[in-house]
Structure 1
Amino acid sequence: MGGQKKEAPHTLRSIRGSKNFSENEFNKNDSIIDQIDLESDFLSLTENSENPFPFDVFPKIVQEIIFEAHNKYQFSIDYLGAGILTASSAAIGISHRVRVKKGWGEKSNLFTVIVGRPGDSKSHALNFCFKPLHIRENELFYRYEQELQNYEDSLESGKNKIKKPYLEKFLISDYTIEALILSHYYNKRGLYIYVDELHGWIKNFNRYSSSGEAEIYLSLWSGTTISTDRASGKNLRIEDPFVGVIGSTQIPVLKEFAKEGRSANGFMDRLLFVYPENQKTIKWNINKVDESILQNYFTIISNLIDLKCDQNSQTNAIPIEDSAKKYLFNWQNNRPDDYLFDYERSIEIKLQQYVIRFALILQLIHYASDKKTKNEVQLFAVKGAIKLFDYFYHNAIKVRNEITKKNYLESLTELQKNILKELPDNFTTQKGLEIACKKVDGKPRVSERQFKTYLKDRKLFKRMSHGNYKKIL
């Protein structure tokens, strides 16, 4: 017996897109352009950040969306900028890739990690950025329920001529690797792993097997063929996967990302850390985002979702325009060759590859917003991508320093930690000896020789001049 049909899900004016925007569209209203420029100037003067997110890589209409959500909800500019960049990547999927040269193509999938303290509204900011995709998924699920009901009705009637439907989706959260590959098999456009707390995602590596889940994600990031071969169940193969990752984590948990060899095998270097400085405490308010501005965002993401693939392929391969390619290659050829630490080189190489992905996303966001071409990657997109490179490189080094600091401190003995804590930031050898060698139960805690050996640890102390030291950690 067939079940009761459900009503279609509610949508906000329907996001099934067109290139039409609200009456606030920028190319029709110069006063809004001036307002966004003023917002930008105000932020640059008032935000004391060494590494601000380069929101100017986006079209003016997207900048307006970022400022509106920042002003009304107090979400971090970094979270909003990176969230919109990643949501756009999820909407684009495998529909487009960059043809750098023969045999070298780049898709737009990102592995994005939102970093912050508890209460920084990381999850709320991501939910805002991915809302258009959630709404579209609601529509797809409603259609799936109807098709599944029709399929089950046909089975009961004994006249089954309907193929069993599958659920179309963009995002996946709770899954095994086999389930991820199966879902991707039916969703050829690609999938994004959308996890509220990425700490759980990391902890679940190798949950069901010891086959090295991190290595599978390395392949998914690169877009190389993946397959499952099981004694029971269907064997699956995806020749051209598109899988991205988006989620949040707290600062003390960052060290977990580097454990079990993930710091050395390149996994860490594929993560785009969004780590804003000087986060302010969110204050409750009753402000609402202007619905016309919100609708503009929904339309942009919907336009990206509705990008069509080439008739003879799952993807459109677009070239880099000549002047843009020359600029990009000159920039890459003039990057440093030598680094103080091996991880700096590894971060650099992966982020250089990301530059091409960023450029593709920016080109298509501008296409969906202000009608720039989608048939090639232009110079403005390459320059914007390099700005994003600088932003994410700074954050990657910041995370590495954070992880190194925490891991090294944890390796110290309790006595070493206590002495380090008691020493002032700047001290003389004599003052250090007084503190370190103070008597406990009538005996010095450490000998003079032991303390002077301790002072030679260059991860903890810097010798400023003869007999004068400074704590580094």
Structure 2
Amino acid sequence: MSDVNGSIGPHAVRLQEARVKNNAKHTNGRSEVYGNDADGMKQRAAPVFPLDVFPDAVQKMVRSADELLNYGLEFTSCSLLFAAASAIGNSCVVEMHSDWLEGVTLWMVMVGDPGTGKGHALKRVLKEIDRQDATRYKLWIDEMKVYKRALAQFNRDRKKELVSDADEPKRPVLKKMILSDVTPEKMARVHADNLRGICLYVDKLAGWLQTFNRYSSGNAQKTYTSAWSRSPVIVDRVQSDSIRVDVPCIMVGGTIQPKILPELMAESRSDDGFTHRLLFCFPNVEAKPWNRRQQDLSQFNGWDAALKKLLALPYEVGDEVMPQVLKFTPEAKELLHNWQEIIIGESNRLRSSYVKGVYVKIGQYAIRLSLIMQLIRYAYGEAGKDRIDIRSVGGAIKLADYFKLSHLQICDVIDNQSPLDDLPENKLNVYLALPNEFKKADGLVIAVKQGMAQRTFDRFLQKKELFRKKQWGDYEKLL
């Protein structure tokens, strides 16, 4: 949007004026903001990620990944939390009281423009989980070969009445953790085969949303929100067996571009608290040129070893999930309760029911993040895994505050978005030249003067987010 001298070009000036005019129109000229971006748009500043919550070795790795690989401090840090939670799965829970256990389920959304590195960090920190998935897959392929031969022999023997149905060989089960594009039914099936938990890693979260449309979107959304709350996941289909997962642990993580945020944050997704459960990472970063130096990924070796240690934590006895239950130390629990009282006080002073919902879920996330931080420190040899101490709670509180501010930042971005942002220069010129109310014939004259063909103008008028047809031949601009 800037020329070589750093000044704003004519298209950017017109876009800026249009966006500011649009913002003023929808706020009645009132300023309801927390800062200004390069385009003059009013927007909350991106919060700073509290890197000091991690062990020193992790902090060093994150800085190195940012400097050498352009992964970004925030994207890498949030990816680490997601990967750690995925590795922990159902192996550990934290007890708030005898009837309240929290796991580590979290949903992480990396927001950024193309080229900002938001997907690279997430893919890399999941490498150990992916490696173990690949190893299990190879073993499963070999087991399937043996199974198919045994099944063929069984069928031959059954025809000769040499065996009974009880002798039929069992089909091998593939236990996998990382999934990508799956339906809720497939997700439940895979989870039923791996009670530790699953990691739904979607490079483009828009694809995850599209899976909701394959079935009833309400049912798919309800399945995920129930799973987030550790309620049983039950899938019944006419043409297949019922599936039930009593203790679900389903991580969701992926990337999304800012312009797709309105689709993710649609009003229908907030009705049941779906969007309240999202943790956002939306740093103020730009795309960087490739690093000319040889890339060194050895800094991740320590992380891979830590994930391997977490993945080794037991989670079941027989066919039942039997996690280790951790409790807070007295001082850690006191700190957590004191902080929660503060954010509830803040929430009670708010008018927005949506933001109130965000505060409630952030409080829950603080509990989960306390468990995650304790086990990350355990994996690096800095703490035990029998209790959650005050340092882990202190780190979790910093993280919860970061994600709270990030969610509010996302709300600001969506409130300030305009359909004008993505218009090409020729259409923006026409839109700005048109009066607020006009007849189609008069508008066509203006469009032609701006170099727009009649057919293009006719299609332009069909954009319902920009124009309203008052009556035949009469139009009104909406922005």
| Superposition TM-score, scaled by structure 2 size | 0.73
Residue pairs, 1:415-434, within 5 angstroms: none
Match for 1:272: what amino acid? L
Residue pairs, 1:344-363, within 5 angstroms: 344-363=355-374
Which residue of the partner structure matches residue 171 of structure 2? Answer: 164
Question: Does the Cα contact within 8 Å between 1:68 and 1:289 map onto a contact in 2?
Answer: no
Q: Deviations over 1:214-252 (max 9, x none)?
A: 121110111101212223211121111111100000010
Post-superposition offset of 1:406: 2.5
Question: Does the Cα contact within 8 Å between 1:120 and 1:282 map onto a contact in 2?
Answer: no
**Greater displacement, 267-276 / 304-313:** 304-313
Post-superposition offset of 1:188: 0.5
CA distance in 1 between counterparts of 2:139 and 2:131 reads: 13
Counterpart check, 1:272 vs 2:283: no
Question: Does the Cα contact within 8 Å between 2:62 and 2:73 map onto a contact in 1?
Answer: yes
Match for 1:172: what amino acid? L
Post-superposition offset of 1:388: 0.6
Which residue of the partner structure matches residue 249 of structure 1? Answer: 256
Which residue of the partner structure matches residue 118 of structure 2? Answer: 122
Question: Does the Cα contact within 8 Å between 1:144 and 1:166 map onto a contact in 2?
Answer: yes
CA distance in 1 between counterparts of 2:282 and 2:94 reads: 28
Post-superposition offset of 1:313: 4.6
CA distance in 1 between counterparts of 2:204 and 2:436 reads: 41
Counterpart check, 1:307 vs 2:313: yes
Which residue of the partner structure matches residue 10 of structure 1? Answer: none
CA distance in 2 between counterparts of 1:267 and 1:323 reads: 33
Query: Structure 1 residues 328, 248: CA separation in 2 closer, same or farther (over 3 Å shift)?
Result: same
Query: Structure 1 residues 209, 51: CA separation in 2 closer, same or farther (over 3 Å shift)?
Result: closer
Which residue of the partner structure matches residue 340 of structure 2? Answer: 332
Question: Does the Cα contact within 8 Å between 1:68 and 1:290 map onto a contact in 2?
Answer: no
Post-superposition offset of 1:288: 2.0
| Superposition TM-score, scaled by structure 1 size | 0.74
Which residue of the partner structure matches residue 129 of structure 2? Answer: 133
CA distance in 2 between counterparts of 1:264 and 1:211 reads: 10
CA distance in 2 between counterparts of 1:278 and 1:184 reads: 36
Which residue of the partner structure matches residue 225 of structure 2? Answer: 218
Q: Which secondary structure does the structure 1 equivalent of 2:85 belong to?
A: helix
Question: Does the Cα contact within 8 Å between 1:55 and 1:63 map onto a contact in 2?
Answer: yes
CA distance in 2 between counterparts of 1:210 and 1:84 reads: 30
The alignment-based identity, stated in percent, is 31
Question: Does the Cα contact within 8 Å between 1:194 and 1:247 map onto a contact in 2?
Answer: yes
Post-superposition offset of 1:315: 1.0
Question: Does the Cα contact within 8 Å between 2:90 and 2:321 map onto a contact in 1?
Answer: no
Post-superposition offset of 1:174: 2.0
Residue pairs, 1:25-424, within 5 angstroms: 51-158=47-154, 162-209=169-216, 211-259=218-266, 261-291=268-298, 293-309=299-315, 311=317, 313-335=321-343, 336=346, 337-406=348-417
Match for 1:374: what amino acid? K
CA distance in 1 between counterparts of 2:203 and 2:59 reads: 25
Match for 2:384: what amino acid? T
Question: Does the Cα contact within 8 Å between 2:46 and 2:406 map onto a contact in 1?
Answer: no
CA distance in 2 between counterparts of 1:287 and 1:53 reads: 28
Match for 2:391: what amino acid? F
Post-superposition offset of 1:162: 4.4
Query: Structure 1 residues 216, 287: CA separation in 2 closer, same or farther (over 3 Å shift)?
Result: same
Match for 2:104: what amino acid? S
Query: Structure 1 residues 127, 162: CA separation in 2 closer, same or farther (over 3 Å shift)?
Result: same
Query: Structure 1 residues 50, 112: CA separation in 2 closer, same or farther (over 3 Å shift)?
Result: closer
Query: Structure 1 residues 246, 348: CA separation in 2 closer, same or farther (over 3 Å shift)?
Result: same
Question: Does the Cα contact within 8 Å between 1:419 and 1:436 map onto a contact in 2?
Answer: no
Post-superposition offset of 1:283: 2.5
Match for 1:237: what amino acid? R
Query: Structure 1 residues 102, 281: CA separation in 2 closer, same or farther (over 3 Å shift)?
Result: same
Which consecutive unaligned segments of at least 5 residues does structure 1 have? 1-48, 411-416, 423-434, 446-472
CA distance in 2 between counterparts of 1:358 and 1:210 reads: 29
**Greater displacement, 191-200 / 252-261:** 252-261
CA distance in 2 between counterparts of 1:105 and 1:155 reads: 43
Q: Which secondary structure does the structure 2 equivalent of 1:212 belong to?
A: helix
Question: Does the Cα contact within 8 Å between 1:54 and 1:391 map onto a contact in 2?
Answer: yes
Q: Which secondary structure does the structure 2 equivalent of 1:261 belong to?
A: helix
Q: Which secondary structure does the structure 2 equivalent of 1:78 belong to?
A: helix
CA distance in 2 between counterparts of 1:418 and 1:327 reads: 56
CA distance in 1 between counterparts of 2:420 and 2:270 reads: 17
Match for 1:111: what amino acid? W
| Number of positions where the alignment pairs a residue of Structure 1 with one of Structure 2 | 378
CA distance in 2 between counterparts of 1:234 and 1:396 reads: 39
Post-superposition offset of 1:341: 2.0
Match for 1:328: what amino acid? L
CA distance in 2 between counterparts of 1:151 and 1:303 reads: 32
Query: Structure 1 residues 279, 210: CA separation in 2 closer, same or farther (over 3 Å shift)?
Result: closer
Question: Does the Cα contact within 8 Å between 1:182 and 1:236 map onto a contact in 2?
Answer: yes
Q: Deviations over 1:413-446 (max 9, x none)?
A: xxxx999979xxxxxxxxxxxx989xx97xxx9x
Q: CA RMSD in A?
A: 2.9
